Amino acid sequence: MTKFTGRYVYSTRYKNFFIHNGKLFLKNDNTEGYSLYPKSDTSFVCYHFQRSDMRFVSDRRGKVFKCDAKGINEKNFTLYWKQDSLIWNAEELLETGKYHEALIAYKKAYSENPEHFYLANFIRHLEFVQSKEYENIWPEFESVTGEYIDPPGQPSFVSVFKIYIENEQIYFEMPTLGINLKLYPVSIDQFIFPDMYRAKLEIISDNNRVIGVKFTHSNGRTELFMEKAAI
């Protein structure tokens, strides 16, 4: 069972699996550990508060790289990525602004964790922000800032959000939902969310004027389009 132990992450939520007295335990953020009961060689169930099912998935080398988790009242499984010390180190270097060292660390982490496709997005970001092109186009990001709204006839839970720059960091904010996330550019018109691995944000322009943004899933599917509000 030791291959299942470690830290797993989904967005800003974490699960930590560890072994105690020969049993596998789960510890979520700010909680005590809960024992898991095996259903098969790779699937477990937890009965704390309500039933939760967890299944571990390995790559071709037999290395566990994710855990799919689902509560009894949830329709779909949520993917939690297993992250090792290579990924933690790369994240810390990026967060502290050590871009050169972070790029090396992310490339090493990706080579050891090839199933973690999102690591390639961080590599793109770090290569971009260290390029000469980035130095020249940074002022152009100001044109992206502002409020964005639902276009007529499109139902959405977002309604309105804004993009702003503070201390040379680009942010995405949804005030009605209390969400405030960093945006990392990977090109002049594409951004990734460091806390939402499967989502990307693309800037839509017409005649060099920003008219909206498009949210895309990692499989290329467009999830949502929002218009830039008139000033």
User: Nearest CA to 219 among 205, 203, 200?
Assistant: 200
Give the whole-angstrom CA distance, residue 40 versus residue 34: 18
Cα(203)–Cα(188) distance, integer angstroms: 8
Is the CB of residue 214 less than 8 Å from the CB of residue 222? yes
3-state DSSP: the chain helix, strand, coil percent, rounded to 5? 25, 45, 30
Looking at the fold, whether 121 and 140 belong to one and the same domain comes out as no
Domain that holds residue 198: 134-228
Any idea what the CATH number is for the domain that residue 73 is in? 2.40.128.50
Tell me the β-bridge partners of 177: none
Task: Answer whether 54's CB lies under 8 Å from 43's CB.
Answer: yes
d(CA 177, CA 4): 34
Among 37-46, 96-105, 167-176, the range scoring the smallest mean pLDDT is 167-176
Taking only the tens place, the pLDDT of each residue in 94-127 is: 999 999 999 999 999 999 999 999 999 999 999 9
Residues 42 and 25 in one domain: yes
What is the dihedral sign for C-alpha 193, 114, 92, 20?
positive
Residue 183, pLDDT above cutoff 90: yes
Say what the pTM is: 0.85
153 and 122 within one domain? no
pLDDT recorded at residue 47: 84
Residues, the chain, total? 231
Which pair of structure tokens corresponds to residue 153? 């006839």
pLDDT > 60? residue 225? yes
Tokens 């071709």 belong to residue: 60
Task: CATH number of the domain at 213, please.
Answer: 2.40.128
| Domain count for the chain | 3
Instruction: Report which listed range, 8-22, 74-88, 109-123, 183-197, is most confident.
Output: 109-123
The residue out of 72, 107, 130 marking a domain boundary is 130
Are residues 215 and 159 part of one domain?
A: yes
Whether the CB-CB separation of 151 and 227 falls below 8 Å is answered with yes
